Amino acid sequence: MKNYILLLALTFATGAYCENPYQDGSTVTANGITFKVENDKFGFALSNTANIYSHESNWRYKDGRKLETEDEYAVIDGTMKPGGENLAFRKSFLDADIESLRFYKHSPMTIFYVVGPDGDTLEVTFIMDAVPELLSLPPETFALLEQNLKKYVKWEVNVYGQQLEFMQAISPVHFQKVPLNSEVPQRNPDISFDSDLELEIEGN
């Protein structure tokens, strides 16, 4: 009987410790960012409650006019510059977190971006499978990742995109391609690098 009671107590204690903080309709706050949590049968999403463009269904020109035809959308191009996304992950996730997510051959996380006409990342939303490796990450990790994505992920926007107020893009994250910090060659501190060049080298 004592063993049974002890086992029951341990079960409740473990359940309380491992409780999923990402419940549908709730909010979680970390590092000054409040995320709205949305769940479905496939996974969960975290979006900054300060986002204003993420749920817009139509892109707009800077004068407020909505794009109305497929031809208008077809000429717009915005391409993510290389290296920035990987660098943001390396500065936000522990090597152990990245390594554990390499187990998944598919992409367990997709990042939904809102991009400004100057190529800056304005907003991000994390859309994720409900896998233990992601559910166990604290809100602080996602807040840091959002901050680093906005800092390091830049876009090449063509002349048509530069006429818009905002654009939207998605990026499936394949963690097999995200290098660990331990896998990136350490640069010689006596050698000075141009900051943009350093970003590209570190991120690839």
Q: What pLDDT digit, counting tens, does each position of 40-82 carry?
A: 988 999 999 999 999 999 999 999 999 999 999 999 999 999 9
Residue numbers of the domain that contains 151: 21-183+190-203
Residues 6+ apart with CB under 8 A from 12: none
Tokens representing 159?
């002349």
Residue 32 pLDDT > 70: yes
**pTM (two decimals):** 0.82
pLDDT tens digit string along 94-138? 999 999 999 999 999 999 999 999 999 999 999 999 999 999 999
72 assigned to some structural domain: yes
b/e sequence 45-61, b meaning 16+ C-beta within 10 Å: bbbbeebebbeeeebee
Residue 47 lies in a domain: yes
Tell me, yes or no, whether 8 lies in a domain. no
Q: Is residue 14 part of a domain?
A: no
Is pLDDT of 11 > 70? no
Q: Is residue 129 a part of any domain in this protein?
A: yes
Let me know: does 12 contact 96? Beta carbons within 8 Å: no
Residue 146 pLDDT exceeds 70: yes
pLDDT tens digits along 168-200: 999 999 999 999 998 988 765 454 434 343 333
Structure tokens of 55? Answer: 């749920």
In a domain, 153, yes or no: yes
- How many domains, in total, are found in the chain? 1
Contact partners, residue 163, CB within 8 Å, separation at least 6: 61, 62, 117
Residue 42 forms part of a structural domain:
yes
Angle, CA of 135, 177 and 90, to the nearest 5°: 60
Position 41 scores a pLDDT of: 87
CA atoms within 13 A on the CB side of 147: 14
Question: What's the confidence (pLDDT) of residue 101?
Answer: 98
